[in-house]
C-alpha cells in the first residue's frame, strides 16, 4: 500500500481493505447475493449466540504537529471476518467526509466500498499535547433486529470525554445478520492503523475484547493486540 506523505494525505476514501486511506482506487459495489454468501446466517439468536462485542482501544501519542495535521489515526470494526459487507471506520484527529478536515473525530458507516453516512463529534480540536493518552470503546450489537455501532467511554486531553452521547453512533437496518459469531478482533486490528505521520504516535493497541450473549457476558479476551509500536531512540 502507498502511504501519503503530504499534509493532506489521500485518506479521503476508505474502502474494503482501507486502501482509500492511502489511494484513490475505486471498486465495483458488491451485490446482496455476495453479502449473503459472506455472512454465516444463523437462526434466531439464542443464549449461545454473540449479540454484542466491545473493543477497548488505547492510543499513546508522541509529539503531534497541528501544522502538519498530524497524526491521523483510524480504527475499523466489522461483524464479519472481512470488510466485504457492513463495517464502520473511526477517524481520529481528522475526518474525510464530506471533505477532508483536520482535527476532531468521525464515525463512518460503510457497506463494502460504499459510504452510507458519517457522524462527527462536535469538538474539532487538533491533537496538540505531547504524550497524550486516548482511550475509548468501540461497540457493536444486534439491537431490535438492527446492527448498531457506537463509540463509548472515550477519554482524552484534546477532546475531553466523548462517546455515549449519540454523536458517534450509527445503525444498519434490515441486514440479514442475526448474531455476531463471525466477528474477529484480527479483522479490526488488520484494518486499523496510523494513516499519516506514524512516527508521531507511540502505540495503538486493542487492549481487551468482551463478548456478550442475550443473557450477558460470555467471555473477556485480555490479549494486547498491538497495531502500531514506535519507540524513538
Neighbouring residues of 221: CB distance < 8 A, sequence distance ≥ 6: 185, 208, 209, 210, 211
Q: Is 7 contained in some domain?
A: no
Low-confidence ranges of the chain (pLDDT < 50): 1-45
Give the CA angle between residues 45, 216, 76 to the nearest 5°: 75
Count Cα atoms within 13 angstroms, Cβ side, for 95.
21
Task: Please tell me the predicted confidence (pLDDT) of residue 231.
Answer: 86
**Cα–Cα distance measured from residue 3 to residue 13, given in angstroms and rounded to the nearest whole number:** 13
Task: Please tell me the predicted confidence (pLDDT) of residue 39.
Answer: 40
Q: Is 30 contained in some domain?
A: no
Task: Please tell me the predicted confidence (pLDDT) of residue 28.
Answer: 35
Q: Is 38 contained in some domain?
A: no
Q: Is 98 contained in some domain?
A: yes
Neighbouring residues of 212: CB distance < 8 A, sequence distance ≥ 6: 50, 51, 52, 53, 54, 141, 218
Q: What is the CATH number of the domain that holds 104?
A: 2.60.120
Locate the DSSP E strands across the chain: 52-61, 72-77, 86-95, 101-111, 114-120, 133-143, 146-155, 169-172, 193-196, 201-213, 216-221, 225-229
Task: Please tell me the predicted confidence (pLDDT) of residue 4.
Answer: 36
- Domain region containing 198: 47-229
Task: Please tell me the predicted confidence (pLDDT) of residue 48.
Answer: 85
Task: Please tell me the predicted confidence (pLDDT) of residue 159.
Answer: 98
Question: Do residues 77 and 169 lie in contact, with contact meaning Cβ atoms separated by under 8 Å?
Answer: no
Q: Is 40 contained in some domain?
A: no
Q: How many domains does the chain have?
A: 1
Count Cα atoms within 13 angstroms, Cβ side, for 229.
7
Q: Is 8 contained in some domain?
A: no
Amino acid at each position: 500500500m502507498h502511504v501519503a506523505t503530504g499534509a493532506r494525505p489521500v485518506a479521503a476514501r476508505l474502502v474494503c481493505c482501507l486502501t482509500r486511506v492511502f489511494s484513490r482506487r475505486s471498486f465495483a459495489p458488491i451485490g446482496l447475493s455476495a453479502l449473503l454468501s459472506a455472512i454465516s446466517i444463523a437462526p434466531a439468536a439464542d443464549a449461545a449466540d454473540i449479540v454484542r462485542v466491545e473493543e477497548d482501544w488505547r492510543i499513546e501519542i508522541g509529539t503531534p504537529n497541528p501544522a502538519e495535521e498530524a497524526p491521523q489515526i483510524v480504527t475499523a470494526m466489522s461483524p464479519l471476518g472481512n470488510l466485504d459487507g457492513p463495517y464502520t471506520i473511526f477517524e481520529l484527529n481528522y475526518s474525510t467526509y464530506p471533505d477532508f478536515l483536520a482535527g476532531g473525530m468521525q464515525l463512518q458507516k460503510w457497506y463494502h466500498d460504499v459510504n452510507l453516512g458519517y457522524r462527527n463529534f462536535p469538538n474539532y480540536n487538533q491533537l496538540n499535547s505531547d504524550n497524550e493518552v486516548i482511550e475509548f470503546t468501540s461497540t457493536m450489537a444486534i439491537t431490535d433486529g438492527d446492527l448498531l455501532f457506537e463509540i463509548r467511554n472515550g477519554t482524552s486531553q484534546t477532546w475531553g470525554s466523548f462517546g455515549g452521547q449519540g454523536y458517534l453512533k450509527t445503525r444498519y437496518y434490515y441486514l440479514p445478520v442475526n448474531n455476531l459469531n463471525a466477528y474477529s478482533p484480527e479483522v479490526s486490528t488488520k484494518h486499523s492503523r496510523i494513516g499519516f505521520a506514524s512516527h508521531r504516535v507511540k502505540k495503538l493497541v486493542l487492549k481487551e475484547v468482551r463478548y456478550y450473549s442475550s443473557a450477558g457476558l460470555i467471555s473477556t479476551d485480555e490479549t494486547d493486540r498491538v497495531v502500531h509500536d514506535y519507540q524513538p531512540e
